[in-house]
């Protein structure tokens, strides 16, 4: 099993550009989440999903959209990137309380 995979690993955007961060899991987990991690801080929840077709907002959802059309995939969309979105983004999946994390995407917005 690959576990949780994220692409790309690194990305540089200009202000105003859009992009999609991809996340996939092959463990048939119901629950998936997106977090961002800023220097010296823990993770903050952006959006999460409790199953295909069901998503909800976390602590810092502004500027991000998500969808969950399949159990496996949970993409995160930045519609108009801003420098404040420079961060490391982690996707996670779980069947219950324990979350499994992907390796992260390091995003820089200039």
Partner 1 sequence: SQQGEEDPQALSIQEGENATMNCSYKTSINNLQWYRQNSGRGLVHLILIRSNEREKHSGRLRVTLDTSKKSSSLLITASRAADTASYFCATGGAGGTSYGKLTFGQGTILTVHP
- Provide the minimum distance between the beta carbon of 15 and partner 1 in the complex, in angstroms, as a whole number: 25
Q: Which is nearer to partner 1, 21 or 32 (CB)?
A: 32
Q: Which is nearer to partner 1, 17 or 72 (CB)?
A: 72
Q: Which is nearer to partner 1, 15 or 57 (CB)?
A: 57
What binding mask, one character per residue, do residues 30-59 give for partner 1 by CB under 8 A, x or -? xxxx-x----xxxxxx--xxx-------xx
Rg of the chain over CA atoms, in angstroms? 13
**26 makes contact with partner 1 (CB under 8 A):** no
CA nearest 2: which of 23, 33, 32, 21? 23
DSSP letter for each residue of 57-75: E-SS-TTEEE--SSSSB--
The residue within the footprint of partner 1, chosen from 1, 2, 62, 96 (CB under 8 A), is: 96
Task: Enumerate binding residues for partner 1 (CB under 8 A).
Answer: 4, 30-33, 35, 40-45, 48-50, 58-59, 90, 92, 94-104
């Amino acid at each position: 099993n690959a576990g949780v995979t994220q692409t790309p690993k690194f990305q540089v955007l200009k202000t105003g550009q859009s992009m999609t961060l991809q996340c996939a899991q092959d463990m048939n987990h119901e629950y998936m989440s997106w977090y961002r991690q800023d220097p010296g801080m823990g993770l903050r929840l952006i959006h999460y999903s409790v199953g295909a077709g069901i998503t909800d907002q976390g602590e810092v959802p502004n500027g991000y959209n998500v969808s969950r059309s399949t159990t496996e995939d949970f993409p995160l969309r930045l519609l108009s990137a801003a420098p404040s979105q420079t961060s490391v983004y982690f996707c996670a999946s779980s069947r219950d309380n324990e979350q499994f994390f992907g390796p992260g995407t390091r995003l820089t917005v200039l």
